[in-house]
Amino acid sequence: MEKLSSKKVMLLASFLVAGVACLVFSFFLYKEYRQETAVVEQSSPITHYKIIDTEKVVGRKYNHYYATVLYNGREYNNIKITPSMYQTRDFRELRLYYDKVNDSMFSELQTSIATPILVFSLSFLCFFLSYKVLKGEE
């Protein structure tokens, strides 16, 4: 096996560190997803809440809509809502859940397995790129 140059070693190390970081991060995202789905399955949506404020976050391709909710005398931020809820201010279809373990609130729209899967896939991409660097095929 040929000796690796310092540039390749740094590139290999950075891909490996990024891959491990993505792997760990995907584990925590999946753990959060499992906690949220358990709360959704084991409890019913809360009913006594008040929407204090709504916010539209403008992105390049997509806009995101969030609400600030008052529940049990405490404010919870970044609760995802739909664009129609933001425009009409009609929150009858909004299903909010309270997680007693983490003292957090989330909407049913926020529970998605897509983010943990994407981050997990990104870790494999980093490991694949580190393999390519190790084999000398930059």
Structural domain includes residue 104: no
Give the pLDDT confidence score for residue 2 in this predicted structure.
60
pLDDT band for position 88 (cuts 50, 70, 90): confident
Number of domains in the chain: 1
* pTM of the full structure: 0.77
Domain that holds residue 122: 1-45+112-138
pLDDT at 22 over 90: yes
* H or E segment to which residue 29 belongs: helix 6-42
Q: How many CA atoms lie within 13 A of 82 on its CB side?
A: 12
Structural domain includes residue 73: no
Structural domain includes residue 27: yes
Structural domain includes residue 68: no
Q: Left if phi > 0, otherwise alpha if psi is -120 to 50, otherwise beta: which for 111?
A: beta
